Amino acid sequence: MTQIERAFFKVVGMYCFTCKPIVEKQLKDEDAIKKIGVDYMTDSVVVEYDSALINKEEIKERLEKSGYKFVRVAR
Protein backbone atom coordinates (compact mmCIF):
# COMPACT_ATOMS: atom_id res chain seq x y z
CA MET A 1 0.00 0.00 0.00
CA THR A 2 1.38 3.39 -0.99
CA GLN A 3 1.95 5.74 1.93
CA ILE A 4 3.36 9.09 0.81
CA GLU A 5 5.32 11.02 3.44
CA ARG A 6 7.59 14.04 3.38
CA ALA A 7 11.10 14.36 4.83
CA PHE A 8 12.94 17.66 5.36
CA PHE A 9 16.74 17.93 5.44
CA LYS A 10 19.24 20.74 5.98
CA VAL A 11 22.36 20.43 3.82
CA VAL A 12 25.85 21.36 4.98
CA GLY A 13 28.12 22.62 2.20
CA MET A 14 25.66 23.27 -0.63
CA TYR A 15 26.49 26.77 -1.89
CA CYS A 16 25.42 27.15 -5.52
CA PHE A 17 22.94 26.05 -8.17
CA THR A 18 25.38 23.46 -9.57
CA CYS A 19 24.96 21.48 -6.34
CA LYS A 20 21.27 20.84 -7.02
CA PRO A 21 21.67 18.17 -9.75
CA ILE A 22 24.42 16.46 -7.75
CA VAL A 23 22.01 16.00 -4.84
CA GLU A 24 19.00 15.08 -7.03
CA LYS A 25 21.02 12.40 -8.83
CA GLN A 26 21.24 10.33 -5.64
CA LEU A 27 17.46 9.78 -5.55
CA LYS A 28 16.10 10.32 -9.07
CA ASP A 29 16.21 6.64 -10.07
CA GLU A 30 14.57 5.39 -6.86
CA ASP A 31 10.97 4.25 -7.46
CA ALA A 32 10.01 5.04 -3.86
CA ILE A 33 10.87 8.73 -4.35
CA LYS A 34 7.93 10.71 -5.71
CA LYS A 35 9.31 14.26 -5.61
CA ILE A 36 12.61 15.96 -4.74
CA GLY A 37 12.90 19.66 -3.95
CA VAL A 38 16.44 21.03 -3.61
CA ASP A 39 16.99 24.69 -2.68
CA TYR A 40 20.61 25.81 -2.40
CA MET A 41 19.52 29.29 -1.22
CA THR A 42 18.04 27.83 1.98
CA ASP A 43 20.38 24.80 2.17
CA SER A 44 17.37 22.50 2.20
CA VAL A 45 15.99 19.37 0.58
CA VAL A 46 12.38 18.16 0.74
CA VAL A 47 11.64 14.60 -0.35
CA GLU A 48 8.21 13.06 -0.90
CA TYR A 49 8.49 9.29 -0.73
CA ASP A 50 6.58 6.04 -0.30
CA SER A 51 7.31 5.02 3.29
CA ALA A 52 6.28 1.44 2.51
CA LEU A 53 9.37 1.18 0.28
CA ILE A 54 12.03 3.42 1.87
CA ASN A 55 12.53 5.20 5.19
CA LYS A 56 14.04 8.57 6.19
CA GLU A 57 17.35 7.09 7.30
CA GLU A 58 17.78 5.29 3.96
CA ILE A 59 17.02 8.55 2.13
CA LYS A 60 19.63 10.37 4.25
CA GLU A 61 22.23 7.67 3.50
CA ARG A 62 21.54 7.93 -0.25
CA LEU A 63 21.75 11.73 -0.15
CA GLU A 64 25.09 11.64 1.68
CA LYS A 65 26.59 9.71 -1.25
CA SER A 66 26.58 13.10 -3.02
CA GLY A 67 29.36 14.22 -0.66
CA TYR A 68 27.32 16.59 1.49
CA LYS A 69 26.21 16.19 5.10
CA PHE A 70 22.45 16.07 5.65
CA VAL A 71 20.62 16.74 8.90
CA ARG A 72 16.99 15.61 9.09
CA VAL A 73 14.64 18.31 10.34
CA ALA A 74 11.63 17.24 12.40
CA ARG A 75 8.34 18.67 11.11
- The structural domains of the chain, with segments of one domain joined by +, span 4-73
CB 46 within 8 A of CB 6: yes
Supply the pLDDT for residue 72: 81
Supply the pLDDT for residue 75: 64
Q: How confident is the model at residue 73 (pLDDT cuts 50, 70, 90)?
A: confident
CATH of domain 4-73: 3.30.70.100
- Distance between CA atoms of residues 14 and 31, nearest Å: 25
Q: Are strands 44-50 and 4-12 parallel, antiparallel or unpaired?
A: antiparallel
Mean of the per-residue pLDDT values of the chain: 93
